[in-house]
Structure 1
């Protein structure tokens, strides 16, 4: 049964044959394994003593199954972590409302937007640090904005199968951006991204990296798994990135065909169609025994660096 108490709809794979082939080759997915895996996950959720409310529809569960290449135990573990992290950090992962004045303003500024066209099937998320005002907004605003954007995209089966590419213009990144973050929060959000978020991260491209952005990169990149570290790419200018990303899909300001603000407007319209389902995520609930929860302990463990402060304590050459 789903979150709303409705009978689960029977799943049908509706994407083109080439996507079915990629799903089989990269994720070991076929009709039989998918049906069995969905059934096993629903049974696991139903019997889980701590999970009180969880979506069990196919688009939601397939987020996790496809991320974990249809290993049901690993997918179930990620569901548990996903639900838990939403409880631990409500200011990061709850109230993902596109009509929230702050989130709406950050979106409208063009800080983070999915491009209109794909990169070899992958959804491309484009961010521009200069369009996030660190004097007006907090790190929680930034993470909640990222959560809203990615949650709006994760039910899309093309995204689940092909994954995501990230293009980040760090030219406007400043010490004011760095000062928003504690070292602990940086470490924990990196852990959330790679251990609790059901997304296939295929490539992370950084351009116009200045000294402030480089300092944050220097601290955070070692926290990633080796696989994700190997998918980080830094470029001196936009021309270098064109060897990896087709220029025409980027915003017009970066050599593409469609202005960034036009992409933003289309994404705002899309977010409105997702508003109800995004807000409904706040109904998901897992009971947490904070004293005995491994994930809580993991997030609260000491940094081992002798300081617990913010990046204000780090000097940037």
Structure 2
């Protein structure tokens, strides 16, 4: 990951995740549960059996358990990037790589995707989901405004999440065949901004940016942000809205059996000829 900007403090992220395990607030894992259900649905559309599967990430053993129970895989193991974001995978050693909500915490995502592509056997599959750019846009807006109002400036408090178009380009750059990236954007409602922040702590998803302000948010800033949130994003019943966006991506390690686009000039019929033939058929000539 030489030259990649260090956006996230991985040691702090580990502390946040350890705290999340201790909190264990019921229902706060809804985002992970939704992601795993979707990944298993996507896997079900692939008519393949994968002998060697890996769960890449360190959020929870839930994904690996779901893979093992799914029936399309043989051996399932969990791996995580080390402190340098290197994966303990040999080239051409796995058939299936799956990840749920871990990629958004990677400093060098292009490098990680390249490692995964090398680790996949020919015609091996990557399925992953990460958090997209519209996530927590309401919280980002009110925290920035409240801190600016009270301190005269604002530090980054919410991580910069990926754009679906960028993810598609990264898959191509890493050398994946048949790359696909699509998005699931939805709204979750909370009793207040503070209930949202409680869930984020329970997910281990609080601020781990290296550029974070070491000063904590004061009560005055949080109170101002909560007021702005309620004013701008509350429904008639007083509950507030929060946007989440999940980006699902897939790509295959190249193999000669895969469908390939036609080379320029290799078409059997010119477009003009095809259109003329279709016109004659409609006219019965």
TM-score normalised by L of structure 1: 0.25
Answer 1 or 2: which has greater helix percent.
Answer: 1
Structure 2 length normalisation: TM-score? Answer: 0.27
